Amino acid sequence: MREPKIVVWDIETTPILAYSWDLYPEKISHDSIVQDWSIICGCWKIVGKDKVHSVAVKEVGNDLEVVMTLRSVLVDADILVHHNGNRFDLKKFNARLIYHGLEPLPKIPTVDTLVEVKKVAAFSSNRLDYLSKFLIGKGKIHVEYSLWLDVMRGSKKAVKTMVAYNKVDVLRDEELYLKLRPYMKNHPHIGVMQDKDRCSCNKCGSTKMKKNGIRVTASGIKKQEMQCQGCGSYSSFAITAVQGKKVQRGK
């Protein structure tokens, strides 16, 4: 059985350095940019493995090695997991791929924990720090904005601190992902990735599924609802797809 490679990842970038005539500009022209943003570091972890990996720049602004290393990791992933990564990390990373003339990533399925939590719950905040503290009991490392400024000044110590900060973000997001996974509305099918039947659990891959009654869709189609006995999530299948299968029955 092939285990899918689920990669939780996160990047940190520098701010844009630009000239401004006042402290509250309505906007800053691109002509005022003195130094554009770039990637400082990236960290990643394969779900179920112990080690958090990292790569960081040796010189701020020269992130080619970081981008190439991250691409070599992400390109082999079956699923990418990130928090606000659809809007930030992935698009920022694509910008640097384009800038350096590197090949794009394939169309890898993504799970954005920020997007998914908004679909199913109304927490007081959807920030990673809040959710990880509230649901897991452990938050992010607290750092000041001055850390980014120290990185831009060329401090190697600041880069190391940034990597440590980045690693904890990856750990917290993995824990949040596993906590939220049974509730997610859309998740790439883990069972099929493991070469199991489509009626296996799409969240965790378990084949221990229990019938939980018939549901009727808005268009009038009857579907068999089933609950995974591994992670507790619910799935619906065409009735013909589960006929003849040995499954448990719900209460």
Cross-strand pairs, 176: none
Q: Coil, strand, or helix at residue 6?
A: strand
Instruction: Tell which residue, 54, 45, 104, has the closest CA to residue 79.
Output: 45
What is residue 251's predicted lDDT score, i.e. its pLDDT?
42
Contact 120, 91 (CB under 8 A): no
Contact 214, 224 (CB under 8 A): yes
What is residue 1's predicted lDDT score, i.e. its pLDDT?
66
In 96-233 the beta strands, taken as DSSP E runs, fall at: 110-112, 209-216, 222-228
Cross-strand pairs, 54: 43
Distance CA 125, CA 122 (A): 8
Dihedral of alpha carbons 47, 64, 15, 154, sign = positive
What is residue 249's predicted lDDT score, i.e. its pLDDT?
45
Distance CA 204, CA 54 (A): 27
Contact 176, 111 (CB under 8 A): no
Instruction: Note down pLDDT in tens along the chain; length 251 residues.
Output: 688 999 999 999 999 999 999 999 999 999 999 999 999 999 999 999 999 999 999 999 999 999 999 999 999 999 999 999 999 999 999 999 999 999 999 999 999 999 999 999 999 999 999 999 999 999 999 999 999 999 999 999 999 999 999 999 999 999 999 999 999 988 999 999 999 999 999 999 999 999 989 999 889 999 999 999 999 999 998 887 666 565 554 44
Contact 41, 60 (CB under 8 A): no
